[in-house]
Amino acid sequence: MKKLIVIFILLSGLILKGSLSLMAQTSVELNNDWEFRQAGTPQWYPAVVPGTVHTDLLANGQIEDPYYRLNEKNLQWIDKVNWEYRTRFQLDAAQLRAGSLMLRFHGLDTYATVMVNGALLFKADNFHRTWEAEAGKHLKEGENEIFIRFESPVMQGLLKQEALGYGLPADNDQSENGGMGSVRISIFTRKPGYHFGWDWGPRLVTSGIWRPVELIINRTARINDLFVRQESVTAKEARVKAGVEVSVQQEGLYKLEILMDGQPVAAREISMSPGIRHPDIDFIIKNPRLWWPNGAGGQPLYTVSAVLSHKGKELHTFNRQIGLRSLKHVRRPDAKGGGESFHFEVNGRPVFAKGANYIPNDIFLPRVDSARYEFIVKSAAEANINMLRVWGGGIYENDYFYDLCDRHGIMVWQDFMFACAMYPGDKDFLDNVRLEAVDNIKRLRNHACIALWCGNNEIEYAWAEGDFTRGWGWKEKYDKAQQREIWQSYDTLFHHILPAAVKQYAPDYTYWPSSPTQGGGVLANWSGNRGDVHYWGVWHGQEPISAFRNYKARFMSEYGFQSFPEFNSVKKYTLPEDWNIESPVMTSHQRSGIGNLRIRQYMEQDYQIPDNFEHLLYVGQLLQADAIGMALRTHRSDMPFCMGSLYWQLNDVWPVASWSGIDYYGKWKAMHYFVKDALKNQIIQVVVENGKLLVYGVSDTDQKTPALLRLNLADFNGLSLWNRPYKVTLPANGATLLCSIDLKELPLNYQENKVFLTATLMDGSRVIDQEFAYFAKPKDLLLPDPGLKSRISDKGDHFVIEISTRNFCKNLMLVSDNTDVNFSDNFFDMQPGETRLITCSATMRWEDFEKGFRMLHLGQTMRKQ
């Protein structure tokens, strides 16, 4: 929430630290001068708010870095004890005369007893909610104290499991790592599931004040919320209803005015009595500037302000930023074997959802600052992503994340925070979740980026109600009565409570009960012909990477392939003795038990496995990039049957081998560069299969594009062996097969491992896209010495690297050992005689950058044949 802080400078010109003696102030942050201790111990230490116990312990030198080597294992005691926080602040008599003094905590983690001057204010038990209570009767003139006791989430979970009488499925709860044996209690606590471990993250179960604290001073009336409901939007006009929630302390006649970018558009006078009131105002915007997803148009944003006045005096202004657009989730029966479409339509135009699944950026969430959010969302936008799925085992993200998605045109598939587990169904739990849902729907519903609300991640599929031939084997662990009880809890939560909350508080949005689901009832026969699909045949199912070509779906909402971080990233959390993927440290920083072995298994199918550790990490990234690049291009070439492809996953929560395209330190892996290329608005896909060379054309633009497709077969020294031009047309907002060639027509002559094909799609002199194709696996290619040369130029705020090659160069990786930078392009192939210019930001002196710059290509990792 954007905070309104009006500061009046005292006549003396001084504002005393910790003082709240600011007469006109309506909202005061209380984030300074906190301290903490382990309950039952005498020593208090300085604390940072927002923060966590773990980060406070680290800052005070009480623990080692949890992410370094095996330190995580020694810190499992922290979540099994209680912790206490306190702060003191000043109030004067004038402030105490206000009609309301509301103490608001935007995030408490998680079981918290909040005391004010020794009196109980409230008890919290939900990480995902905003907690507030009227504190006026407990406050006094002079010094006041807030004291918070955080109960161990692990001990509380044990009590709740004991009360239920049996455990619940929670496959990703790393109870063994937490010293809990097989007792998995994460599902009993409304807290991010990934804190208890996941197959890409550690088990570090936090406590603390994880979002800001503020004191709300309300003398007359103030605005709590503004919902700008877009009832209809076209290019000619937008019909809008502004719904305002007002907390009234004094009865009277109030004026409510609505401004758009500072200009009045509507106003009314309302008589309101004390309490929570909900006035609304309708207005029309002529010829609105429409918001579009990334790549489809611009992202103009409007600031809508609700201004509340009384007797000519302005009391409060509340702002929301919106983008005007029509965004619909479309499911329409079609003639394709009883199927049903699944796509998003923006401003009347179907949009292919190009993107990724997004997880939190850290275990310790307060460490994720605005710069980190900006980097991650901008990296997604630069990779031509237009949708992120905020996955259900993490958090309802900070407002700034959604602000950035609005700004960059990134649609958000928003999960509710439930993933890969079954949950309790007692009244207290369900009532808690209902309030959690309302909190977050109201907070996020104005964002242009929100495209869909989804009940959970993979639970319907995992439980497979009514079908004992499917699912993850959960049902079999329970007797019939327990099965009915567990399913009833699921049904109540995901088929009644959550959809009702969306309907009431965000009525124009679609609610989707689970991902994946086929729609039309629980566990309809699996078919890619309807609903969304999580495809894990590649990776978990050990199917070949080429299987991405075989599985079709309306919307691929999850699939993935693992890799390691690059060597410079690995160095940050390891020592040289750890530089083996089977070492204890590298194994610990790989939470999918089969992960390291699975990478090797796939690698030996397509690549030579290097003996050199750095080379092994590099080739692993190429393998991942090949897989996801193929999947994205395949799904796009299946438009309009398939209208969405969201790979797993964009980012990381700690340094780890995972499915991410951006590692914890912000380095783009090879996959992210390949994603950027595969998600351009217009692309080609070249496929060699079943004795044919197939070239598909894909376009996300709304106009047909006449183009020239040129195919050139050459050897690695640059000699052209075969060259053909084809006049083609890219369809509008669709895909088509541009050409099909029998491999017998190509002069391969048993030289499949010595040649490559370049497919170049051109509009006049402009290259629309270029893709390389090979007729042998990378491990069999007879790659020559490319004869690389490079020159670096200092351009002030950036460096330009000029790279030339004499012969063909496969997957050239640019490396900076002295600084963390991402390059404008990387891991690319170069044709013989080609010169390429690459840029990167200048974060250090040119001389130092040049000393740390080097290049690595695939030929260096291969044994001579």
- Could you tell me the domains of the chain? 27-209 (2.60.120.260), 221-322 (2.60.40.10), 336-418+439-488+503-678 (3.20.20.80), 682-780 (2.60.40.10), 789-861 (2.60.40.10)
At residue 3, the pLDDT reads 36
Contact between 536 and 559 under an 8 Å Cβ cutoff? The reply is yes
The amino acid occupying position 726 is Y
Q: For the residues 486-500, what does the mean pLDDT come to?
A: 98
pLDDT over 80 (residue 102): yes
The pTM score is 0.95
At residue 338, the pLDDT reads 73
Q: For the residues 88-93, what does the mean pLDDT come to?
A: 94
Q: For the residues 578-599, what does the mean pLDDT come to?
A: 94
Q: How confident is the model at residue 518 (pLDDT cuts 50, 70, 90)?
A: confident
Contact between 623 and 607 under an 8 Å Cβ cutoff? The reply is yes
Q: For the residues 28-38, what does the mean pLDDT come to?
A: 96
At residue 522, the pLDDT reads 52
At residue 11, the pLDDT reads 27
At residue 593, the pLDDT reads 82
Token reading at 846: 């040119």
The amino acid occupying position 275 is G
Q: Which helix (H) or strand (E) holds 46?
A: strand 45-47
pLDDT over 70 (residue 519): yes
| Among the ranges given (89-98, 230-239, 629-638, 848-857), the one the predictor scored with the smallest mean pLDDT | 89-98
CA 407, chain centre distance (Å)? 15
Model pLDDT for residues 120-143, shown as the tens digit of each residue? 999 999 999 999 999 999 999 999
Residues in the chain, how many?
Answer: 865
pLDDT over 80 (residue 53): yes
At residue 595, the pLDDT reads 84
DSSP-H helix ranges across 383-426: 399-408
Cα–Cα distance list, 502 to 331, 442, 667 (Å): 18, 9, 37
Q: For the residues 508-520, what does the mean pLDDT come to?
A: 91
At residue 521, the pLDDT reads 54
Q: Which helix (H) or strand (E) holds 259?
A: strand 252-260
Q: How confident is the model at residue 22 (pLDDT cuts 50, 70, 90)?
A: very low
Report the first-to-last Cα separation within the chain, whole angstroms: 62
CA 663, CA 654: separation in Å to the nearest integer?
8
Token reading at 81: 């004890």
Question: Backbone phi, then psi, for 674, in 5-degree steps?
Answer: -65, -40
